[in-house]
């Protein structure tokens, strides 16, 4: 999936909540912002710069920021990724979704170039196909993996009910 496809899907699924909650689209990535007193709360989704892999897919992250300007990554008074705002139970739900994505992946053929760089690279690459066995610890930096549009939709449905609490937590911390 191209990043533009991921952003379009997330925009269609998350955008209505942001609009109804007083957010406006911001300029970079897939981002929304609204004033919060003298500051702005900005939320964005960012697809990994690692790019797309036909076998392992890709991943994206969701970030929240409280800053003087509604500019992604600029002058943040407070900045947090989604995972830092999740409870242990929510992280466990994320792990289940992650493992569903991983179990749906098709492993590359033995001729795949990445499997012939070095033993270390082969081990690193094949680990992408291993289920996440242990619960994510508090503070884990969770990137949301996907390989198909339905994976992105599952993540959007996971994120949607979390948005009010995450936004409130970031605003309260400011």
Q: What percentage of residues in the chain have a pLDDT greater than 90?
A: 80
Tokens of 22: 């007083």
Domain containing 100: what range?
3-172
50 φ, ψ (degrees, to nearest 5): -65, -20
18-51: per-residue pLDDT in tens?
Answer: 999 999 998 778 999 999 999 999 999 999 988 8
What's the DSSP call for residue 57?
A: B
Number of domains in the chain: 1
152 φ, ψ (degrees, to nearest 5): -60, -40
> What pLDDT shows up at residue 50?
83
Average pLDDT over residues 109-136: 93
**E runs forming strands in the chain:** 24-25, 30-36, 39-47, 58-67, 76-81, 144-146
Nearest to 72 by CA among 38, 28, 36, 39: 28
């Amino acid at each position: 999936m191209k990043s533009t496809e991921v952003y379009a899907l997330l925009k269609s699924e998350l955008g209505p909540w942001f609009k109804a909650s007083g957010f406006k689209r911001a300029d970079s990535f897939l981002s929304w912002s609204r004033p919060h007193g003298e500051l702005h709360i900005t939320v964005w989704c960012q697809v990994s710069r690692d790019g797309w892999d036909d076998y392992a897919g890709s991943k994206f992250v969701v970030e929240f920021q409280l800053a003087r300007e509604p500019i992604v990554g600029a002058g943040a008074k407070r900045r947090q990724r989604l995972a830092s705002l999740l409870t242990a139970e929510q992280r466990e739900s994320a792990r289940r979704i992650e493992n569903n994505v991983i179990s749906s992946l098709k492993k590359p053929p033995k001729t795949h170039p990445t499997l012939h760089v070095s033993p270390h690279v082969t081990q690193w690459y094949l680990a992408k196909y291993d289920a996440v066995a242990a619960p994510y610890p508090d503070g884990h930096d969770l990137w949301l993996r996907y390989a198909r549009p339905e994976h992105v939709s599952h993540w959007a449905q996971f994120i949607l009910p979390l948005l009010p609490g995450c936004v409130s937590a970031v605003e309260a911390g400011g």
